[in-house]
C-alpha cells in the first residue's frame, strides 16, 4: 500500500504546440513521490521488487479470465496483525501527528512545503496549506493513528510523514471500506535512509488494525498494475504570469496580447441561479452526486456527512457552486474545485502559483460546458492562475472547447488488495484523489 504523487514535471511546453495548450505542470501528487523514493531505496534493477510481493494486480495476470474480481487476499485475523510498529533506524522514532494541534500542523506544513514534490527543473514545489491539510486528513471517521510521522530522536524534528484516511469506495456493485493513502514525504537530507518503504509498511499495518484491507492511491509512475491511466489538462487563467514564471510558453506566432485575449473570460457567470453552495444544499447535492456517480465503475460512496465535509466551501481549500432553478428552487447542477498552490522557486517577482483542481461536477439541466465555464469565471475572479482537470468522468466533453491544453504527465490509479480483471477507461472512473 503506498502513496506518491507525480512530481510536477518540466512545466514549459513546446513553443510550437497549439496556443490553446498549456504545458504540463503535473501539479497532482499522490502515489508517486513515495514510489520514486521507494524505488530509489530498494535494489536498483528490480524495479517492482516490492510491488511484486504485494496483493496488487500483477502484469503476469493480465488477460487471465480465470481470476475473479475482488479482494486478492482474505483478511488476516486481527489478533495476527503485527501489534508493534516496524523498526526504524536507531536515531529515529515514530510519532502520531495530531493535525488538530497548531504546532504539529505547522511542522507537517513546513516539512511538505520544503521537501515535497518538485518539478525536474526545481522551479515549482507543491505548497498545501495548513487548512487544506486539516480538511484532507479529517474526514468523517478519520483515525488519528493513520497520520504517521517520523522524528529524529535527538532534535525531535519531524523528518518524514505518510497518511491514510478512511473511505467507502464502490467498485462496480461492491462498496468496499478502503484507506486513501497520501502525503508521503521524506526530508531531502534523509532520502538515503530507507525510510519510505518502512513508512509504507507502517501505514499498511495501522490500516489493517482498523480492519480495513484495501486501499486506493495514485502515482505518476507505472507500477503493477494501474486500474486506469489519466491525463491532466490545464486551462490558463492568468497567461502572462504563467509565461513569466516558466509554467507555459508563448505559442508559435502568438504575442502576449493575443494570448491574453485568447484566454479572456466573461466578467460574470451565465447560468441563472448559479451561487455558492450552502449547508442547506447538502441533501440535494448528495442526491445529485450519488445519482451521477452510480454510472461509473469505481467511485466514492458518499453520504450527506461526506458531502458536507468534502464539498461545503472552505476559503482557499474547496469551492463549490450550485445552480438553483429560479422557478422551482430545485438544485439542478453543481461544480467544485479545490485549491493546491505551488511555491515558485527562485523567481524574483512571484512566490506562489495559485492552482484550482476540478473536483466533482454534476450537470442535469445546465449544459456541462456552460457549468464548467462558469467555474472558470469564478476561479478567475478569485485570482487563480490556472485551472486543472483530469480526463475522468465526463470531463473530456469540455476540455478542448474550454481551451484546456493537455499536460505531458500521466496519473495512474491503483487499488491495493483488490483486482479488476480489465483496466478502465478514464471516463469510467468517478474518483478524484487529492
Calculate the alpha carbon distances from 253 to 15, 28, 249, 258 in Å: 9, 30, 12, 10
Fold of the 232-411 domain = Aminopeptidase (3.40.630)
Instruction: Say if CB 54 and CB 205 are below 8 A apart.
Output: no
Q: How far, in Å, CA of 429 to CA of 426, rounded?
A: 5
> Is residue 434 flagged as an active site residue?
yes
User: Per the structure block, which three cell numbers stand in for 262?
Assistant: 485568447
Domain ranges of the chain: 31-228, 232-411
Q: Identify the residue whose cell numbers are 508493534.
A: 84
**DSSP secondary structure letter of residue 59:** G
Q: Report whether 24 contacts 386 (CB < 8 A).
A: no
**pLDDT computed for residue 421 by the predictor:** 86
Contact between 180 and 433 under an 8 Å Cβ cutoff? The reply is: yes
Half-sphere exposure of 240 (CA within 13 A, CB side): 7
Angle at 407 (CA atoms; ends 406, 412), nearest 5 degrees: 105
Is residue 266 exposed (0-12), middle (13-18) or buried (19+ Cβ within 10 Å)?
exposed
Judge whether 94 and 103 are in contact, CB under 8 Å: no
Q: Are 109 and 98 in contact (CB under 8 A)?
A: no
Helix (H) or strand (E) holding 150: strand 147-152
Contacts of 199 (CB under 8 A, 6+ apart): 34, 148, 150, 160, 161, 162, 184, 186
Task: Using alpha carbons, select from 224, 139, 151 the residue that is nearest to residue 182.
Answer: 139
Predicted confidence at residue 251, as pLDDT, reads 87
Q: By C-alpha distance, which of 249, 384, 241 is closest to 319?
A: 384
* pTM listed for this prediction: 0.89
Q: In this structure, are residues 28 and 6 in contact, taking their beta carbons and an 8 Å threshold?
A: yes
Q: How far apart are CA 386 and CA 391, in angstroms?
A: 16
Could you check whether 31-228 and 232-411 share the same CATH topology? Answer: yes
Catalytic residue among 190, 371, 411, 434: 434
Homologous superfamily of the 31-228 domain (CATH): Gcn5-related N-acetyltransferase (GNAT) (3.40.630.30)
Following DSSP, what letter does each residue of 361-415 receive, concatenated?
A: -EESSS-HHHHHHHHHHHHHHTT-SEEEEES-TTTHHHHTTTT-EEEEEEEEEEE
| Continuous H helices in 210-281 | 239-244, 256-262
Between helices 31-41 and 195-209, what is the axis angle to 10°?
130
Per-residue tens of pLDDT for the chain, all 434 residues: 544 454 443 334 433 333 333 333 333 334 444 444 444 443 333 457 778 888 888 888 877 878 889 999 999 999 999 999 999 999 999 999 999 999 999 999 999 999 987 776 789 999 999 999 999 999 999 999 999 999 999 999 999 999 999 999 999 999 999 999 999 899 999 988 889 889 989 999 999 999 999 999 988 878 888 999 999 999 999 999 999 999 999 988 999 999 999 999 999 999 999 999 999 999 999 999 999 999 999 999 999 999 999 999 999 999 999 999 999 999 999 999 999 999 999 999 999 999 999 999 999 999 999 999 999 999 999 999 999 999 999 999 999 999 999 987 789 999 999 999 889 999 999 999 99
Amino acid at each position: 500500500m503506498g502513496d506518491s504523487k507525480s512530481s510536477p514535471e518540466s512545466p514549459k511546453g513546446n513553443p510550437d504546440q497549439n496556443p490553446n495548450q498549456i504545458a504540463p505542470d503535473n501539479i497532482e501528487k499522490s502515489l508517486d513521490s513515495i514510489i520514486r523514493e521507494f524505488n530509489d531505496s530498494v535494489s536498483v534493477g528490480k524495479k517492482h521488487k516490492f510491488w511484486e510481493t504485494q496483493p496488487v494486480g500483477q502484469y503476469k495476470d493480465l488477460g487471465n479470465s480465470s481470476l475473479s474480481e475482488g479482494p486478492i487476499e482474505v483478511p488476516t485475523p486481527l489478533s495476527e496483525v503485527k501489534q508493534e510498529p516496524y523498526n526504524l533506524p536507531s536515531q529515529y522514532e515514530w510519532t502520531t501527528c495530531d493535525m488538530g494541534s497548531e504546532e504539529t500542523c505547522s511542522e507537517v506544513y513546513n516539512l511538505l512545503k520544503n521537501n515535497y514534490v518538485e518539478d525536474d527543473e526545481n522551479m515549482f514545489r507543491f505548497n498545501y496549506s495548513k487548512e487544506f491539510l486539516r480538511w484532507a486528513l479529517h474526514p468523517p471517521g478519520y483515525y488519528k493513528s493513520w497520520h504517521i510521522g517520523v522524528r529524529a530522536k535527538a532534535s525531535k524534528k519531524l523528518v518524514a510523514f505518510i497518511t491514510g484516511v478512511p473511505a467507502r469506495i464502490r467498485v462496480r456493485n461492491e462498496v468496499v471500506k478502503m484507506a486513501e493513502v497520501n502525503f508521503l514525504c521524506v526530508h531531502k537530507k534523509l532520502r538515503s535512509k530507507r525510510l519510505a518503504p518502512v513508512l509504507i509498511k507502517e501505514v499498511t499495518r495501522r490500516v489493517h488494525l482498523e480492519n480495513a484491507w484495501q486501499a486506493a492511491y495514485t502515482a505518476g509512475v507505472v507500477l503493477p498494475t494501474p486500474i486506469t491511466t489519466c491525463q491532466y489538462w490545464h486551462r490558463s487563467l492568468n497567461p502572462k504570469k504563467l509565461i513569466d514564471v516558466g509554467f507555459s510558453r508563448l505559442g508559435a506566432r502568438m504575442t502576449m496580447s493575443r494570448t491574453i485575449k485568447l484566454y479572456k473570460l466573461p466578467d460574470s457567470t451565465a447560468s441563472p441561479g448559479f451561487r455558492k453552495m450552502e449547508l442547506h444544499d447538502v441533501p440535494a447535492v448528495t442526491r445529485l452526486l450519488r445519482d451521477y456517480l452510480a454510472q461509473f465503475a469505481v467511485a466514492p460512496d458518499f453520504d450527506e456527512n461526506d458531502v458536507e465535509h468534502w464539498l461545503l466551501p472552505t476559503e482557499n481549500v474547496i469551492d463549490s457552486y450550485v445552480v438553483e432553478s429560479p422557478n422551482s428552487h430545485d438544485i439542478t447542477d453543481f461544480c467544485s474545485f479545490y485549491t493546491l498552490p505551488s511555491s515558485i522557486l527562485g523567481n524574483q517577482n512571484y512566490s506562489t502559483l495559485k492552482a484550482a483542481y476540478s473536483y466533482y461536477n454534476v450537470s442535469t439541466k445546465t449544459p456541462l460546458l456552460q457549468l464548467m465555464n462558469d467555474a472558470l469565471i469564478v476561479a478567475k475572479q478569485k485570482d487563480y492562475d490556472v485551472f486543472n482537470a483530469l480526463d475522468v468522468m465526463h470531463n473530456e466533453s469540455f476540455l478542448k472547447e474550454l481551451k484546456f491544453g493537455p499536460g505531458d504527465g500521466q496519473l495512474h490509479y491503483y487499488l491495493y488488495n483488490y483486482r479488476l480483471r480489465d483496466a478502465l477507461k478514464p471516463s469510467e472512473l468517478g474518483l478524484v484523489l487529492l
